[in-house]
Amino acid sequence: MSSVKIPIAKPFVDDNDREAVLSVLKSDILSQGPYLLEFEKNFAKFVSSFGGCAVSSGTAGLHLVVKALGIGDGDEVITSPFSFVASSNCLLYERARPVFVDIEETTFNIDPNKIEGAITKKTKAILVIHIFGQMAQMDKILKIAKRYNLAVIEDACESLGAKYKGKDAGTFGDVGVFGFFPNKQMTTGEGGMIVSNSKKLLELVKSLRNQGRNDGDNWLESKILGYNYRLDEMSAALGVSQLNKLPIMIEDRKRVAMSYNQKLANIKWLKTPEIGNDRTHTWFVYVVRIINGKRNILIKRLAEKGIQTRNYLPSIHLQPFMKKVFGYKNGDFPVSEKVSSETLALPMFVGLEMKDIKYICAEIKQI
């Protein structure tokens, strides 16, 4: 195999980021310092939420939220099979059951019209994933949640900055979770953020991330069972700095997406992304559908040209351990499975050059 010339994703880190992290290392406060509070405050403001709780990863954030909402043994949570495994794993950690509902073929988000059919007496919440940088139909989802008295968790890890009817991802439900792995719209290395308008919920997740301690408690006193899901101060400093340029970084991802859209418009066997009504897209990944059955061959051929692409995403219910535990099989969620068999993520990152976009598109066409 030839080496990767154009990776699928790459973080954008500049001198301001490096200076921010270095300033922490020159101080004595490497955890729970001023950058943590600033990051939480600025982030909540950015998405127009009441407050934030920074955590060590998006997965840690989702886990704390499930715990804080009292979702546990035998409870059911409605969610999408077309996602990254973390969005279901967080339920399994608490022995709750993910109940999958198939997706819309247009946006790849959960199909609101199929949710009611999956609700039972055990259903406690709907865990919505805003996939690839585009939000689900929150109006319909919130209406159903209200009718059945269900909590709404938003996994917004892939959709920071995306809007539905002018309002930010992560701020519609009871609570929203973001992730800052290096391939996301902004990064802290590892890291995540919980946002909510509920002061009570924020206090609880802040305690849970810190061994069950409350603000002002004795360091060695734990009132409830907690975890160490804290975000260190170097990461928080990077978060503050990255957040400052987030609008510019999202704008540049849009530039890349629009260039792809234009150059890939007239290929019979390829479908460019669809954006739903009333929504903006912040392009965590740029995903096309290869509808001639040759997606996997294409991935191989592009790799030979140094272009890294990926089959984003395999359906969660067909992951080996999910099949083993819950007995899922092919055909259970046909739309998700079909989309999983056709989707291809192309290189997407801030600063991806036009000549590289042209090269990628030319190689795709040639195949």
Inter-CA distances, 362 with 16, 263, 317, Å: 36, 9, 35
Q: Among 49, 87, 109, 309, indicate the residue that binds ligand PLP (CB under 6 A).
A: 87
CB of 215 to ligand PLP, least distance (A): 25
Cα Rg for the chain, rounded, in angstroms? 21
* C-alpha–C-alpha distance, residues 252 and 72, integer Å: 41
The nearer residue to ligand PLP, 170 or 192, going by C-beta atoms, is: 192
- Sign of the Cα torsion 231, 181, 138, 259 reads positive
Does residue 337 touch ligand PLP according to CB under 6 A? no
**Residue nearest to ligand PLP as judged by C-beta position:** 58
The nearer residue to ligand PLP, 208 or 364, going by C-beta atoms, is: 208
The nearer residue to ligand PLP, 108 or 328, going by C-beta atoms, is: 108
CB of 312 to ligand PLP, least distance (A): 10
* C-alpha–C-alpha distance, residues 42 and 244, integer Å: 9
The nearer residue to ligand PLP, 57 or 107, going by C-beta atoms, is: 57
Does residue 181 touch ligand PLP according to CB under 6 A? yes
Would you call 9 helix, strand, or coil by DSSP?
coil
Does residue 192 touch ligand PLP according to CB under 6 A? yes
Q: What is the largest CA-CA distance in the chain?
A: 66
CB of 123 to ligand PLP, least distance (A): 21
Residue pair 72/94 in contact by the 8 Å Cβ criterion: yes
Does residue 158 touch ligand PLP according to CB under 6 A? yes
CB of 361 to ligand PLP, least distance (A): 25
Q: Is 13 exposed, middle or buried (0-12, 13-18, 19+ CB in 10 A)?
A: middle
Does residue 232 touch ligand PLP according to CB under 6 A? no
The nearer residue to ligand PLP, 65 or 240, going by C-beta atoms, is: 65
Does residue 154 touch ligand PLP according to CB under 6 A? no
Does residue 40 touch ligand PLP according to CB under 6 A? no
Return the H-helix or E-strand segment holding 77: strand 76-79
Q: Among 44, 69, 119, 129, indicate the residue that binds ligand PLP (CB under 6 A).
A: 129
Q: Among 57, 80, 185, 188, indicate the residue that binds ligand PLP (CB under 6 A).
A: 57
Number of residues forming the site for ligand PLP (CB under 6 A): 14
List binders of ligand PLP among 262-281 (CB under 6 A). Answer: none
Inter-CA distances, 37 with 54, 143, 158, Å: 9, 34, 23
Q: Among 112, 179, 239, 273, indicate the residue that binds ligand PLP (CB under 6 A).
A: 179
Interacting span for ligand PLP (CB under 6 A) from 10-18, 44-52, 84-92, 109-117 = 84-92
* C-alpha–C-alpha distance, residues 92 and 331, integer Å: 23
Q: Angle at the Cα of 340 (from 334 to 346), degrees rounded to 5?
A: 155
Does residue 133 touch ligand PLP according to CB under 6 A? no
Does residue 287 touch ligand PLP according to CB under 6 A? no
* C-alpha–C-alpha distance, residues 295 and 301, integer Å: 10
Q: Among 127, 145, 157, 364, indicate the residue that binds ligand PLP (CB under 6 A).
A: 157
Does residue 161 touch ligand PLP according to CB under 6 A? no
Q: Helix 246-263 vs helix 354-366: angle between axes, to the nearest 10 degrees?
A: 30
Distance separating the N- and C-terminal Cα atoms of the chain? 18
* C-alpha–C-alpha distance, residues 136 and 32, integer Å: 34
Q: Which residues bind ligand PLP (CB under 6 A)?
A: 57-59, 83-84, 86-87, 129, 155, 157-158, 179, 181, 192
